[in-house]
Amino acid sequence: MKRLAVLLVGEYRTWPIASAAIFNFFNNRAEQVDYYFVTWDKSGEQLISDADITDYFQNKNLIAYKRVPVKNENHTYYKQTYLAKVANILKRTAEQTQGFVYDQVVETRPDMFLRPNELEWKLCPDFYHRISIVDECYPGEPWMLDLYYRSSSLTNDILSNRYYNRLSKFNDSMNYISGYNFENHHWYLARYVMDHNLISMCKSMTDVDYEFHTVIRPNFPTELLSLSNKELWQYGEDWRLKQNA
Amino acid sequence: MNIALIVDQSFSDYRETLPLEKFYQVFVSEHKNKSLALMQTGLMLDQSIFIDGHNIDYVLYATNPLIKWDEFLKLTTYQGSFYNTIWYTGDMEDMSQVSELTNCIHGNFYCAPKVFSFLSSSYKINLNVEPIENFKLKCSNGDDVDFIRHRYMIERSNIKGCHFP
């Protein structure tokens, strides 16, 4: 693959911890790997500066980044999808001004821990994607599987419009009409993907781009990231058992 | 209702023929090629909404002055499929000889910004892959690559096309 765009989209959170693993995951996947970073200007109580972002991109192709004032939306879904749209605009701007189209685009979060596998990436044609498997999570759990999308540039453009996944400007109106409670934004994302006939190329739970991936929550003991996959999974299971005890 | 007008170089006298005061914003492409014009104006539109914070409800892509304003303003009653529908305008008599969608795409159309954003990326569609080779056979004017790309994007991504009204 010649050119890969990695869109890092979401709250800043544990980017300083996750960044090394993210670069290690992507850097050898294309002849040129371009990064885009879009986050809120505040993460918890921490104000995010330019340096909080750029300092971690030494010798990397950070094409564009943006700190967006925190948006007042009713649900995480709309916050995340708003940032995803901004990142997509930055990517499309680069494509138009330089006159090219990315071979593949990945959208994921800046607080994601990704461990590469040895498998060669099969390129996703237009309207296909390779999506992460989203697991159930417990409130307060120090990790969880989350957003990872690889697709063609065109498919990313379609995905980035999921902010509009509603009937009116008032976010909750769709739920009132459909009768569903808006509790699971992963479900909403899945519904958008299905509505627009985007097809997964993953044939099984293990047919994914990575050997291991998880969001690194602030309460995650980072020394565990050096453990094997099996040990990491075991840690998660033990954590849940402890919560249920 | 905030309506954005989008025109390209094929409609050079739009200032004289359209009521510009009715539009919240006007985006003009420097391209004559339809795919490139959509690419450019689609990005302008998204930047206006998501970077600059403007609130745009509808987009009118205009190629000629035959716009039915009264009917257009009734579109708000179509809320049920607001965000996934593209409304075409055109003279039904003119459509008797060609496919309706063909005529509509080459005429004026209305849609939500989301749908316009979809169309603006259709220039990326590779016409040389098998599904699109087959799709070309369905198109009455299979030589028009812009039309094929737009129509494929609409149908493949499940955007509804409605003649207006």
- Predicted pLDDT of residue A25: 94
Report CB contact under 8 Å: B46, A85: yes
Distance separating alpha carbons of residues B109 and A231, to the nearest angstrom: 57
A66 → chain B, closest CA residue:
B51
Q: Please list the residues that pair with A128 across neighbouring strands.
A: A199
A163 → chain B, closest CA residue:
B114
Read off the pTM. Answer: 0.89
A68 → chain B, closest CA residue:
B51
Which one-letter DSSP state was computed for residue B138? Answer: H
- Predicted pLDDT of residue A140: 63
Would an 8 Å CB–CB cutoff place A230 in contact with chain B? no
- Predicted pLDDT of residue A72: 82
Q: How many C-beta atoms surround the C-beta of residue A145 within 10 A?
A: 18
Residues of A in Cβ contact (< 8 Å) with B157: 127, 158, 196-198
Query: Parallel, antiparallel, or unpaired for β B85-88 and B109-111?
Result: antiparallel
How many separate domains does chain B show? Answer: 1
Q: How many C-beta atoms surround the C-beta of residue A121 within 10 A?
A: 15
Location of structure tokens 């989301």: B114
- Predicted pLDDT of residue A146: 74
Nearest Cα neighbor of B123 from B34, B60, B41 is B34
Would an 8 Å CB–CB cutoff place B45 in contact with chain A? no
- Predicted pLDDT of residue A90: 98
- Integer angstrom CA distances of residue A174 from A80, A103, A177, B122, B159: 18, 35, 5, 28, 18
Q: Which residues contact B68 (CB under 8 A, 6 or more apart)?
A: B89, B164, B165
Contact between residue A210 and residue A29 where contact means Cβ atoms under 8 Å apart: no
Which domains are delineated in chain A?
3-244 (3.90.550)
Name which residue leads in pLDDT, A145 or B138. Answer: B138
Report CB contact under 8 Å: A158, B84: no
Report CB contact under 8 Å: B80, A167: yes
Would an 8 Å CB–CB cutoff place B97 in contact with chain A? no
Nearest Cα neighbor of A131 from A74, A203, A218, A44 is A203
- Predicted pLDDT of residue A182: 56
- Predicted pLDDT of residue A136: 58
Name which residue leads in pLDDT, A14 or B142. Answer: A14
Distance separating alpha carbons of residues B28 and B31, to the nearest angstrom: 9
- How large a percentage of chain B has pLDDT more than 70? 78
Name which residue leads in pLDDT, B92 or B133. Answer: B133
Mean pLDDT of B20-39: 91
- Predicted pLDDT of residue B23: 92
HSE of A80, CA atoms in CB hemisphere, 13 A: 19
**What value does the mean pLDDT of chain B take?**
80
Report CB contact under 8 Å: A101, B124: yes
Contact between residue B14 and residue B7 where contact means Cβ atoms under 8 Å apart: yes
Contact between residue B108 and residue B64 where contact means Cβ atoms under 8 Å apart: yes
| Host domain of residue B18 | 3-163
B50 → chain A, closest CA residue:
A86
Query: Which stretch of A168-172, A191-195, B74-78, B142-146 has the lowest confidence by average pLDDT?
Result: A168-172
Q: How many C-beta atoms surround the C-beta of residue B120 within 10 A?
A: 26
- Predicted pLDDT of residue B162: 72
Mean pLDDT of B67-83: 64
- Predicted pLDDT of residue A218: 76
CATH label of the domain that carries residue B8: 3.90.550
Distance separating alpha carbons of residues A206 and A225, to the nearest angstrom: 20
Nearest by CB to B39, which of A96, A153, A165? A96
pLDDT per residue, tens digit, chain A (245 aa), is 999 999 999 999 999 999 999 999 999 999 999 999 999 999 989 999 999 999 999 999 999 999 999 988 777 888 899 999 999 999 999 999 999 999 999 999 999 888 888 888 999 999 999 876 555 556 666 666 678 899 999 999 999 998 876 644 444 455 544 545 556 677 778 778 888 999 988 887 778 888 888 888 777 777 777 888 888 778 878 888 888 88
Would an 8 Å CB–CB cutoff place B118 in contact with chain A? yes
- Tell me the count of A-B CB pairs closer than 8 A: 65
Closest Cα in chain B, distance from residue A199 (Å): 11
- Predicted pLDDT of residue A244: 81
- pLDDT digits 0-9 by tens, B91-122: 544 444 445 555 556 678 888 899 999 999 99
C-alpha A233 chain-centroid distance: 20
Report CB contact under 8 Å: B83, A126: no
Q: Over 70: is that where the pLDDT of B134 sits?
A: yes
Which ipTM value was assigned to this complex?
0.89
Res. B75 pLDDT band, cuts 50 70 90: low
